[in-house]
């Protein structure tokens, strides 16, 4: 069976004035369906560029990108949008929730664009189920301003999952969170990966966060410089149990 | 499809509701523009309706020949009886020589005190023949018309306008009664149906109609006539009739042209013209207000939408990331712009109707709100939204998702 993600000699050049700056210089990467891969690298290493291309937000300058065995390197804007909607969920460092909009409606957002014209009741039902799965069943009507950072990120995870994608791309998902909340978020990602077989690609510059993945891919100067399984993988669920009871009021 | 449209609408309204004051101010241009459009059309159709009604009430296909000339100030309007240039022979000549004349009556006029029993009333007296009612399209409410015999014998009989009938004979049947005009007894043989206000707001029903022969000889003591009232055979023969009559009278009066004519020939359409010109001027003024404010309103919408697109760049990026296609973003912002302009349009329609009502109430100008006017205004408002909303919406839809997501 073809890997979920396969890149062959992936290149990306940016043009800054007259100078061409290479961001990716030939990346070969495979991620099997159901995998949990952490991409680690300093800022400027090209890992964000890789994430944009893997997420079909951007197109490579050269090389090929196969998603579920299909070459998606040269799809047009709208085809990429449709594919993003159905197969990829995004979790961003800054949450990117719509302000003054309830958690429920934030989670429903991708369903507006999935082309199935689900009824409002159906959308509510699906969004509510996901919010319950991330532990926010009692806060569906809260707006982002009424939620803590960790809760906002959980809303974002629910949103990423609402269309039932196979791939979750998490770009520094814990970058704005304290360490306990970070572990909570990683617990959700590990659980989704383990229980639902969701493929997770985690982009981070923190090595300790990367160790929640089963495999670390290290980026430097637009190239993969290291790619190996994590020897002592961290287990967020076990770490949470070892921690004292949460101070955060439910 | 409908569910999708509804959800797009809901998103748009929500976005507008977030900045209520801003949205309201933005819509103001459209509100004023649409209100002007409504008032303009209302004034136009009101004036047209008033003119039609006036033409209708003056008579059908009517041509007036009056003694005196337009071009001699004071002559035509200098008072009845001051100009003695029209004669019964002129009337006869027109009747015999202009083929498009259907009906014709000589007219003499005066004002007089009319007395019946203890009632006393000052009214205008119209002397004419039996075709007067036909020409003026004026049915009898009761009794009968003047007869050719009454005219020939200068009988002292008369028809009463509605106002006169009600004033002189309150609660009685006037037909068969006798009233006195300058001490001459007249027998009432008919009552006219009410006609309402005339062109300049005068009461057309405040009149007594009698044979012109009687009025000429027994009341005024004159031999000339004041006016010849003609009804042309068809509506498209009115102009022809006016021209033929003018030529004929120039021959008979030996005048060479408009400068020294001692009579004037006018059609009812021409008389209505003055009034319609006033309405047109006002309409034109409103039209320019309407187009300027629709333009300014449209630019306002474009400006605010551009601001909104910039403010919501990250939101646009996120929507794109989760699967919004170009046309989803385009329709979202276009819907927002159109909602803004259509809401402004609806408010403008309400305001326009109010302004029209005020014009009628305060200035007495006839206005008429038609479904067509409301439709036109609505379409204008929507068109402004589409036209001026397209560019910002296109700008939003063409954003690069990555740049948009990272926008600070």
CB contact (8 A) between residue A114 and residue B320: no
Q: What is the CATH number of the domain that holds A181?
A: 3.40.50.300
CA–centroid distance for A25 within its chain: 23
For the segment B329-353, the average pLDDT, to the nearest whole number, is 93
pLDDT single digits (tens) B209-255: 999 999 999 989 898 999 999 999 888 888 899 999 999 999 898 88
Chain B residue numbers with beta carbons less than 8 Å from the beta carbon of A172 are none
Look at residue B277 and tell me whether its pLDDT is greater than 90.
no
CA A226 – CA B106 distance, rounded (Å): 116
CB contact (8 A) between residue A84 and residue B323: yes
> Residue B78's pLDDT is what?
43
> Residue B363's pLDDT is what?
84
> Residue A1's pLDDT is what?
65
Tell me whether A7 touches chain B (CB under 8 Å).
no
Whole-number percent of chain B with pLDDT over 70: 94
> Could you say which residues from 139 to 168 on chain B have a Cβ atom under 8 Å away from some Cβ of chain A?
none
For residue A180, the enclosing domain spans 33-44+85-242
pLDDT single digits (tens) B303-327: 999 999 999 999 999 999 999 999 9
CA A236 – CA A216 distance, rounded (Å): 17
> Residue B337's pLDDT is what?
93
* Residue A76 resides in a domain: no
For the segment B326-349, the average pLDDT, to the nearest whole number, is 93
State residue A248 phi and psi, 5-degree precision.
-60, 130
Look at residue B98 and tell me whether its pLDDT is greater than 50.
yes
Neighbours of B143 (CB within 10 A): 17
Whole-number percent of chain A with pLDDT over 70: 98
Confidence band, pLDDT 50/70/90 cuts, at residue B200 = low
Number of domains in chain A: 1
* Residue A55 resides in a domain: no
For the segment A106-132, the average pLDDT, to the nearest whole number, is 91
Neighbours of A249 (CB within 10 A): 5
How far does A40 lie from chain B, in Å, by closest CA?
20
CB contact (8 A) between residue A109 and residue B325: no
CB contact (8 A) between residue A114 and residue B1: no
CB contact (8 A) between residue B323 and residue A110: yes
pLDDT single digits (tens) B257-269: 777 788 888 887 7
Closest of B356, B354, B257, B339 to residue B301, by C-alpha: B339
Of B322, B325, B405, the CB nearest to A109: B322
CB contact (8 A) between residue B3 and residue A117: yes
Look at residue B76 and tell me whether its pLDDT is greater than 70.
no
> Residue A250's pLDDT is what?
45
> Residue B52's pLDDT is what?
75
Tell me whether A117 touches chain B (CB under 8 Å).
yes
Query: Which of A89, A112, A158, A165 is the best residue to mutate to test the B interface, defined by the most B CB atoms within 10 Å of its own CB?
Result: A112
Confidence band, pLDDT 50/70/90 cuts, at residue B74 = very low
Look at residue A191 and tell me whether its pLDDT is greater than 50.
yes
CB contact (8 A) between residue A77 and residue B325: yes
For the segment B279-307, the average pLDDT, to the nearest whole number, is 85
> Residue B70's pLDDT is what?
57
Across B318-353, b (16+ Cβ under 10 Å) vs e yields: bbbbbbbbbebbbbbbbbbbbbbbbbbbbbbbebbb
pLDDT single digits (tens) B9-49: 888 888 888 888 988 998 988 898 899 888 888 888 887 78
Inter-residue contact B126 to B223 (CB < 8 Å)? no
Look at residue B179 and tell me whether its pLDDT is greater than 70.
yes
Residue ranges per structural domain of chain B: 2-53+276-406, 69-261
Tell me whether B326 touches chain A (CB under 8 Å).
yes
> Could you say which residues from 15 to 74 on chain B have a Cβ atom under 8 Å away from some Cβ of chain A?
18
CA–centroid distance for A13 within its chain: 23
Q: Which two tokens stand for residue B220?
A: 């005024």
A94 or B366: whose pLDDT is higher?
Answer: A94
CB contact (8 A) between residue B402 and residue A114: no
């Amino acid at each position: 069976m073809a890997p979920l993600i396969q890149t062959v000699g992936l290149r990306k050049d940016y043009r800054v004035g007259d100078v061409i700056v290479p961001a990716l210089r030939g990346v070969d990467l495979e991620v099997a369906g159901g995998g949990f891969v952490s991409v680690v690298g300093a800022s400027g290493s090209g890992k964000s560029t890789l994430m944009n291309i893997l997420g079909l937000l951007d197109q490579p300058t050269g090389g090929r990108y196969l998603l579920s065995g299909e070459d998606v390197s040269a799809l047009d804007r709208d085809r990429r949008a449709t594919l993003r909607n159905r197969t990829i969920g995004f979790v961003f460092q800054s949450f990117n929730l719509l302000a003054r909009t309830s958690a429920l409606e934030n989670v429903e957002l991708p369903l507006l664009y999935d082309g199935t014209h689900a009824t409002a009741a159906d959308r509510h039902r699906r969004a509510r189920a996901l919010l319950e799965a991330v532990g926010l069943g009692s806060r569906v009507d809260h707006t982002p301003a009424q939620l803590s950072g960790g809760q906002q990120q959980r809303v974002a995870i629910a949103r990423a999952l609402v269309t039932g994608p196979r791939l979750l791309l998490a770009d520094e998902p814990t970058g704005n969170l304290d360490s306990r909340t970070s572990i909570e978020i990683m617990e959700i990602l590990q659980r989704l990966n383990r229980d639902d077989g969701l493929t997770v690609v985690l982009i981070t510059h923190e090595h300790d966060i990367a160790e929640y993945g089963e495999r670390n891919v290290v980026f430097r100067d637009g190239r993969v410089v290291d790619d190996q399984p994590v020897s002592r993988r961290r287990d967020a669920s076990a770490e949470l149990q070892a921690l004292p009871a949460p101070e955060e009021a439910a | 499809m409908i569910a999708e449209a509804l959800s797009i609408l809901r998103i748009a309204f929500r976005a507008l509701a977030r900045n209520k004051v801003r949205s309201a101010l933005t819509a103001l241009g459209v509100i004023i523009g649409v209100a002007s459009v409504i008032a303009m059309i209302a004034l136009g159709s009101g004036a047209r309706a008033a003119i039609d009604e006036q033409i209708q009430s003056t008579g059908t296909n009517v041509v007036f020949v009056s003694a005196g000339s337009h071009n001699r100030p004071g002559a035509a309007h200098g008072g009845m009886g001051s100009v003695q240039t029209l004669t019964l022979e002129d009337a006869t000549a027109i009747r015999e020589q202009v083929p498009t004349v259907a009906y014709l009556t000589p007219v003499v006029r005066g004002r007089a005190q009319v007395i019946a029993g203890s009632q006393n009333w000052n009214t205008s007296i119209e002397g004419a023949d039996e075709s007067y009612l036909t020409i003026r399209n004026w049915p009898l409410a009761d009794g009968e018309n003047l007869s050719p015999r009454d005219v020939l014998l200068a009988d002292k009989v008369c028809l009463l306008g509605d106002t006169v009938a009600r004033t002189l004979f309150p609660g009685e049947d006037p037909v068969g009664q006798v009233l006195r005009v300058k001490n001459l007894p007249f027998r009432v043989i008919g009552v006219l149906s009410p006609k309402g206000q005339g062109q300049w707001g005068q009461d057309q029903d405040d009149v007594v109609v009698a044979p012109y022969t009687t009025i000429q000889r027994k009341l005024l003591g004159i031999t000339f006539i004041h006016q010849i009232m003609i009804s042309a055979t068809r509506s498209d023969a009115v102009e022809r009739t006016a021209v033929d009559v003018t030529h004929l009278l120039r021959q008979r009066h030996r005048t060479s042209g408009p400068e020294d004519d001692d009579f004037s020939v006018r059609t009812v359409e021409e008389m209505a013209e003055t009034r319609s010109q006033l309405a047109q001027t006002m309409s034109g003024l409103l039209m320019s207000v309407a187009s300027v404010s629709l333009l300014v309103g449209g630019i306002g919408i474009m400006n605010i939408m551009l601001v909104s697109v910039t403010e919501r760049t990250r939101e646009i990026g996120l929507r794109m990331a989760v699967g919004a296609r170009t046309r989803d973003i385009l329709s979202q912002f276009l819907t927002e712009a159109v909602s803004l302009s259509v809401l402004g349009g609806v408010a403008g329609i309400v305001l326009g109707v109010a302004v029209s009502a005020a014009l009628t109430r305060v200035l007495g100008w006839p206005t008429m709100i038609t479904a067509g006017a409301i439709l036109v205004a609505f379409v204008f408002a929507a068109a402004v939204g589409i036209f001026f909303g397209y560019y910002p919406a296109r700008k939003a839809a063409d954003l690069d998702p990555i740049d948009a997501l990272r926008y600070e």
